[in-house]
Structure 1
């Protein structure tokens, strides 16, 4: 396939108001879609019910032992992260129970054991879910907004040490003590803009937005490993970058993902983020874009100066990039970026461990065509998410078939009595199983599969911005700005 890579230049002028339509008309809703939607909904319901029965107050459930787990000390994280999926799938009884549980949670303490909480993950999964649910319910649930503000106030305390520009990643909610020994990833430090902006918008308190903006700009102003590419970790909240091996994947993913989405949500005030995202993508195309030698599929390699430069592999975690590039390409009216995103989505479908199309790998490399190097599978949502974006943008039923293959393979190979588990080798049924069902299975994986079989205008990308898994409503009157004027202003 030719991906139209002639130029990554984007238009310098956008309409003052949002004019573009991201989603073209697709095929009519069919009985097959409805049947598949129902099967995905039933699998979600069965797994969620197994979690909710024994462990309302815990973060995860162990699918093999049926015991509760709190790996990041996030009590109730699955309940909160599941709110929007429960609402979208119209599971009313379960939604009402989860909503009541969320409203009555006590965010004044970390958990029953008083252990530290991973604050960036709590922002994305819990604060984002509460605010998104508030919008989905028509912005009339005052108690829900108060709960979001209560949580936001606790999360703000992770900045309140040494006047740090970025938040400390671990925080004891009760005494508000940080753990200085922990490093913070770039994704953790700079993936807060959507949630904190919405909290400021609905409460009228601008301090949340200002904190998140300060953190993101601090990261964007750090020297990159090379133009547009950032080391994944900081030594402390204000320290220099460490761990120089970088790739568009874990520890950097949502930092890069949120740049274009923040501009999509708020428009002109976030032009700096949009320009940064565009520059990063241009640099990645120049430095890290690779084509697999066997089937000529595009993928993004890694980079390590200490190891001699480019590292020719792409991890499954990097498979959020296709959907993000498709979205950015559409928003910027940049066909080259959009087509590369579409091509990378095909790459990820061919290599996802849980896909029937895939070879069972979690990482591909140029050494051999789709060589298997790592095959640990966690039923992560990145491939399902990019498939959904491809379906929404193209209307091509092939993407629904790929989503269905992903679902069927997950049902066949990774389902247990108490949920779904990871496995050391996706191709070896006898390999070690991981006794954990993480919150993103509910908050993202099932949700994106389900949405691939709903009406295409339901939660349209012309009207909603999805964070990692939770939709926020776009203000149709927001202005997108003028890129040429912005570039001239930044020069001066």
Structure 2
């Protein structure tokens, strides 16, 4: 397979849950994180309440997720974990009155599942108000299950909420149809209705039957009718990411009942090591992509969830080789943040493998490799949590406080460059410390993931222990029916 770095032209575009308001920790950094959450929440409440997102520079609104209030559903469990009682009751009132039929736009099955259904189920696990489960069942029955009403039972990407039918369209994305099962399994566990788990898990079993030249890893674009890949493009970034993540987590959530999914996860990680791993001359290790016969040396922040996922599996399986693999990926993900002028990682980047002749590449790429160790592509930052997510797992699973120091440096950079008078926003260019432009958009996952992981890194480790909870791809925690032993003893 030929190694193919990014083209120069592209580069030039450059224990027990403690939920009371008396938070069980002496680390003052938790209070700073809580204040950051309250700052963003108050701005959203004042200027965009009930809408999906706030535009925190102009104080405008956005409805990219059907206008049901995605930020509220995504932030609800973070509010409970942080013990914010006033904010909880405000959110609860909105949840009670949401009308799933109020949208005119098709519902994107994957996003509705991870943000809305996941948020409701997690809130119920944390604070069992019946309204959360009622709304979850209502949403699943009327908006999510109709996606499976296709000739082969594979979930359509979108559902017309008004008709309750899947919309026309043949293209499917691996991460979107292949990672619905964690939320659906938890819904079955809470309701006793096995239909949800079965319909979602059957899709995963069907994936396992599809031939692939790289065991366990698949192209991200599929055809709905034939249920086969319609391209050869493989990535662990957007379009592939949560598929691999959920194989392990569904196994954990079912107390080992999904052994097939664990086997699928182990195969996928082995192939990542064999086919995707690439090392630079500066010892940074990244996961490449594959297209046709080319190994594309490009990746991004979205892939930086995988070190934490691999370490979680390594600790559960007591696999020292996986621990080494996870650790080298973790270090490299963090270093992509640490070496920029802003202390914030770019959205995507490329690199030159240590086996390649660096002098054969353009000067601008050589300079980037010598300066940062990689070649930035998209230099924006979208409030992403993935590196923080992995840092959370590494801190909880090792107990090493250096990971807290890493997280704090990242938070300080976000606070410095992304904060506005009303919240936090994506920014245009992490490669310059002066003149950073605010791009006026605050994703709902900033409440669900970025601030939650930051808080939990500094909270008492008994809060949301990994022995008792499994986190969804949107960082919504689900209660394990039977505790496991993976978290370090603090």
TM-score normalized by structure 2?
A: 0.85
2:388 corresponds to which of 373, 376, 384 = 384
- Correspondences of 1:273-284 after superposition (within 5 Å): 273-284=261-272
Could you tell me how far apart the structure 1 residues matched to 2:379 and 2:193 are?
46
- The CA deviation string for residues 379-426 of structure 1, in whole angstroms up to 9 with x for no partner, is 111011011111101111111011000100001111122322222321
In structure 1, what is the equivalent of residue 469 of structure 2? 464
1:409 corresponds to 2:413: yes
- Correspondences of 1:25-424 after superposition (within 5 Å): 31=26, 33=27, 35-107=28-100, 109-111=101-103, 114-137=104-127, 139=128, 141-181=129-169, 183-236=171-224, 238-294=226-282, 296-305=283-292, 308-352=293-337, 360=346, 362-366=348-352, 368=369, 369-424=373-428
The number of aligned residues is 442
- The CA deviation string for residues 422-442 of structure 1, in whole angstroms up to 9 with x for no partner, is 223212343654221111100
- Per the alignment, in what secondary structure is the counterpart of residue 211 of structure 2? coil
Q: Retained in 2: the 8 A contact 1:165–1:238?
A: no
Could you tell me how far apart the structure 1 residues matched to 2:175 and 2:98 are?
26
Specify whether residues 299 and 472 from structure 1 end up closer, same or farther in structure 2 by C-alpha distance, changes over 3 A only: same
- The CA deviation string for residues 145-196 of structure 1, in whole angstroms up to 9 with x for no partner, is 1111101102344334333332111112221233223622111101111111
Q: Retained in 1: the 8 A contact 2:304–2:333?
A: yes
In structure 2, what is the equivalent of residue 446 of structure 1? 451
1:435 corresponds to which of 430, 436, 440 = 440
Q: Retained in 2: the 8 A contact 1:52–1:79?
A: no
Could you tell me how far apart the structure 2 residues matched to 1:105 and 1:426 are?
38
Q: CA deviation at 1:267?
A: 2.6
Specify whether residues 431 and 30 from structure 1 end up closer, same or farther in structure 2 by C-alpha distance, changes over 3 A only: closer
Could you tell me how far apart the structure 2 residues matched to 1:178 and 1:212 are?
16
Specify whether residues 355 and 455 from structure 1 end up closer, same or farther in structure 2 by C-alpha distance, changes over 3 A only: farther
Specify whether residues 175 and 226 from structure 1 end up closer, same or farther in structure 2 by C-alpha distance, changes over 3 A only: same
RMSD of equivalent CA atoms: 2.2
Q: CA deviation at 1:64?
A: 1.5
Could you tell me how far apart the structure 2 residues matched to 1:47 and 1:292 are?
38
- The CA deviation string for residues 201-233 of structure 1, in whole angstroms up to 9 with x for no partner, is 111211111111112222232222522221112
- Per the alignment, in what secondary structure is the counterpart of residue 159 of structure 2? strand
Could you tell me how far apart the structure 2 residues matched to 1:224 and 1:210 are?
24
- Per the alignment, in what secondary structure is the counterpart of residue 149 of structure 2? coil
Could you tell me how far apart the structure 2 residues matched to 1:77 and 1:382 are?
19
User: Which deviates more from structure 2 when the two are superposed, residues 353-362 or residues 413-422?
Assistant: 353-362
Q: CA deviation at 1:243?
A: 3.6
Could you tell me how far apart the structure 2 residues matched to 1:143 and 1:186 are?
32
- Per the alignment, in what secondary structure is the counterpart of residue 422 of structure 1? coil
- Per the alignment, in what secondary structure is the counterpart of residue 257 of structure 2? helix
- The CA deviation string for residues 32-85 of structure 1, in whole angstroms up to 9 with x for no partner, is x2x211111101111111112232221111112111101232421110111100
Could you tell me how far apart the structure 1 residues matched to 2:418 and 2:345 are?
16
- Per the alignment, in what secondary structure is the counterpart of residue 363 of structure 1? strand
Specify whether residues 101 and 222 from structure 1 end up closer, same or farther in structure 2 by C-alpha distance, changes over 3 A only: same
Point out where structure 2 has 5 or more consecutive residues left out of the alignment: 1-23, 354-368, 486-490
Q: CA deviation at 1:144?
A: 1.9
Q: Retained in 2: the 8 A contact 1:123–1:155?
A: no
User: Which deviates more from structure 2 when the two are superposed, residues 159-168 or residues 399-408?
Assistant: 159-168
Specify whether residues 358 and 94 from structure 1 end up closer, same or farther in structure 2 by C-alpha distance, changes over 3 A only: closer
Specify whether residues 478 and 64 from structure 1 end up closer, same or farther in structure 2 by C-alpha distance, changes over 3 A only: closer
Q: CA deviation at 1:248?
A: 1.2
Q: Retained in 2: the 8 A contact 1:110–1:172?
A: no
Could you tell me how far apart the structure 1 residues matched to 2:157 and 2:237 are?
19
Could you tell me how far apart the structure 2 residues matched to 1:56 and 1:97 are?
10
Q: Retained in 1: the 8 A contact 2:347–2:382?
A: no
Could you tell me how far apart the structure 2 residues matched to 1:110 and 1:394 are?
46
Specify whether residues 159 and 115 from structure 1 end up closer, same or farther in structure 2 by C-alpha distance, changes over 3 A only: closer
